[in-house]
Each structure stands twice: as C-alpha cells, then as structure tokens.
Amino acid sequence: MATVNALLDALHDRTLELSAQPAMPSNTEDPGLGRLVGNAIRILALIDPPPDVMTILQAMPTSEPAEEPGNSPITTIGYTLGALADTLNANPETVRNTGHTDRGQLRSQVLATLHQVATVSLAALPTDPGFSSPALIRDLADATQTASYVPRVDLREPIGLLALAQIPGSLDDSVARWAETAIEILQSQTRVTSYAFQRTAVTIAALCSTAAATFAEPTGNLPPESAASVALLRASEAWQRAADWPPEVRLGGRATQLRHRSRDLDQALAIHRLGQPGAPSRNDSMSAALLSAEKVGACHESALIQAVSKRSLWINVATLGPSYLTFNPGARRSDWVPYPRTRAGQTLLDACRQAETALQTALDHLHPPATASATGTPGEKPQWEMVSAPTRSRRPRSAKVLTPPVRGIAR
C-alpha cells in the first residue's frame, strides 16, 4: 500500500497536470469537486486547519455525484485525497504526535492542491455576475493562495511512511466484484441502463490504460513501444468512444450498485498505480483484470444488441426531424419515444464492436496462441501441437447478429 509520502507525490503530480491543462468553459461545476472537498475536510480536521478555509469548505457541497460515467482530473485528485485521508485517519495517534514542521508541510500541500483546483474550476465557470456558484470557489482560491508558494518536501518518519495495511488481492477483489455486478445488470432486461453501458465502457478503458502503463514500467513485461502496449492504449481509446453516447439517446433507470462497485475499482486502480513498479503481483493482477474486462465487454456487446434489436432505447423527438412530426401529429419535440428506425443505435453498436475487437487484439498480443514448432530428423514430417490458453474464452469475431433495418430517418 502507498505511503503518505507516495500519496503526496502523486497528489503533487496530478495537481501539476491539472494546472497544465487548458481551461474549458462550462456552465456547471465538475461533478467530482464534492468528493474532493469532502476528503480535504477529513484531512485538514486532523492537522489544525486555518479556520477561514474550513468555513469555506464546510459551506461547499460535499456529496458525491449520483452518476458519473467518466473520470475528470479533479475526480482523480479527489480519489488521491481520499486514499490519503483514509491513511491518516487510520493512524490518528501518529498524526497527533507529529511535529509542527511536518504537520505544517502536510497542511500546505493539501491547501496548495485546493488552491490549484479552485483556480482551474473558477476559470472554467462563466463570468456572469448573476451566476452564484463561483463565489465560494473564488473565496477558496484567495484563502489558499499563500500555501501554493510552499515548496514540496517529504515528511519525516513516522508519518511519512504511514500506510494502510496491505489487503491481499485488493485489486483482484475489486475487479471480481465489479465484473459480477456489471454482468448481472447488463444481462437484466429490467435493470440495464444507459449509465450501465457508459460506466462499464469507461471502466474497461481505465483497465486497459492502467495495464498499458503497468506492463511498460522499467521492470515490467513490455517496453513502452511494444505492440501489446500500443494495442492496449488503442483498446482504451476505443472503449472511451463506446462510452460516448449521444445525448438524444437514453435508456432510463438507476444502477446504484454498479456505481458503487465502479467507484471501488477506481480507487483500487488509483492505489495500484502508486505501487512498486515491476512487482510480479502487479502484472499478474492486471493480466487477470484484463481477462475479466474481456468477459464484461462481451456481455456489454450482447446486451447492447438486445437493447437495439428490441427497441428498448429511447430517443428525443426533436432529433427525428419534421417527417416524424408529420406522421405523428400528437408528438411534441420535447417528448421521448421508443427507439424508431434511426442510425443512433447502429452507431452505438459499431463503436462497441470496434472496442471489443480492439480489446481482443490487445489480449492476443499479451497472450499469443502457441506457435507451431517442428522437431525431428531431416526428411521427417514436423509434429504440430495445438495449445489453447485455458484462461481465455475466445469468441469468433465474424459472428453476425440480427439488428433492425436502418432506413428513412437519420438522427
């Protein structure tokens, strides 16, 4: 498990990455900001925080987003602060007995992160004076500005080396629970939702990108430029595209259990990235995680085929064009109707199939089929032995599925 110093290093790096990104204007706050604020409060409450900062933080919403299909940089920082808060709160006596210098350094690093997050969030929000959301964020940026000038220094023992007790197979357990829940929901005709499709695709993308980074570590199994590493990154990008549902298409409902399982897996992956590079257990865990991701991806594709073929998807009437309103005079542009014959469903299916193919290609590079070898004396026919990997269940990529005909109306 990562130490406090390792978590602070990761927090520093991710804060720099956030600051280096161009600000993208938005009409809403980042959905991960509530988690970040809540975890910051948990840390500062242990180390004598500035009263003005705590007053601002406690006035800000700290609830976690109900549905978050993607991970923003602020969400990633929030998870890192959460791991740091868990570690410190598990060792309150050590924190209380830590010297003034180390407590001040820890406090400054957390406040510096809050300052950068507030600055970036403020730049992304509109400047309309009637828009009230930036007020607290602006106050937070002002109250934490001086802390951003404090240079980063490692904490001394024992606080710097604090770590949560290692949980054997924590990533394996998180992946197993996530895969079980995802498959259960995707296979259910009554519980599957558009969020379930998006969230599973995003999680598979995260697993692929983390695996590419893990296997390409200096002491890992693959060089960064290897075909397997490149294939994993392509699979990650393909699954990100599969998660990008058009806003005019939806499949309503709630998948609360999947949201919790996905969040747990996000935290396990964040901790996994902070582990010792090249450790055999890291590579083994990621290999097993990718095999689970392949099973979930196959279920994802099958469930999406069913949703499209049975017209379970709903589409906004405004996107169907005037011809639909002509032939359906009772419909309004703001209505949602069961999936008619549009290309939206086929677009989603194409993206899903491409993502599943990219993942299988990456796994073929990681677990190539056994090559044939010939032995024996000259003139003797070579003996071939066919070996298949017992841990992978391969599906024919050319399998055809029935989908409703596409005609007439385009979205």
The pLDDT confidence band at residue 45, using thresholds 50, 70 and 90, is very high
For residues 12 and 73, state if they share a domain. Answer: yes
Residue 375, domain member (yes or no):
no
For residues 183 and 106, state if they share a domain. Answer: no
Digit-coded pLDDT (tens) for 330-355:
777 777 677 666 677 888 899 999 99
Q: Quick check: 406 pLDDT over 50?
A: no
Specify the pLDDT at position 376. 45
For residues 157 and 180, state if they share a domain. Answer: no
Top mean-pLDDT range of 120-129, 171-180, 324-333? 171-180
For residues 302 and 281, state if they share a domain. Answer: yes
Residue 406, domain member (yes or no):
no
Average pLDDT, the chain: 78
Specify the pLDDT at position 208. 95
Digit-coded pLDDT (tens) for 5-35:
889 988 988 888 887 765 555 544 556 788 8
Which residues are CB-contacts of 40 (< 8 A; sequence separation ≥ 6)? Answer: 57, 81, 110, 113, 114
Nearest by Cα to 192 from 268, 285, 336, 200: 200
Residue 150, Cβ density class (10 Å: 0-12 exposed, 13-18 middle, ≥19 buried): middle
Could you tell me which residue, 139 or 73, shows the higher pLDDT? 139
Specify the pLDDT at position 398. 42
Residues in a beta bridge with 315: 249, 337
Residue 372, domain member (yes or no):
no
For residues 157 and 29, state if they share a domain. Answer: yes
Cβ atoms of 141 and 119 closer than 8 Å:
yes
Residue 384, domain member (yes or no):
no
Specify the pLDDT at position 389. 41
Which range marks the domain in which residue 19 is found? 4-161
H-run or E-run covering 338:
strand 336-338
Q: Quick check: 111 pLDDT over 90?
A: yes
For residues 139 and 15, state if they share a domain. Answer: yes
CA dist., res. 317 & res. 338, Å (int): 10
Cβ atoms of 305 and 403 closer than 8 Å:
yes
Q: Quick check: 299 pLDDT over 50?
A: yes
For residues 9 and 113, state if they share a domain. Answer: yes
For residues 112 and 233, state if they share a domain. Answer: no
Q: Give the chain's domain count.
A: 2
Residue 407, domain member (yes or no):
no
Q: What's the pTM?
A: 0.55
Handedness of CA 314, 178, 213, 32 (dihedral sign): positive
For residues 118 and 219, state if they share a domain. Answer: no
Residue 151, domain member (yes or no):
yes
Residue 258, domain member (yes or no):
yes
For residues 203 and 115, state if they share a domain. Answer: no
SS3 state of residue 287: helix
For residues 157 and 174, state if they share a domain. Answer: no
Residue 394, domain member (yes or no):
no
Digit-coded pLDDT (tens) for 230-275:
999 999 999 999 998 877 777 877 777 888 889 889 888 887 776 6
Specify the pLDDT at position 206. 93
For residues 342 and 287, state if they share a domain. Answer: yes
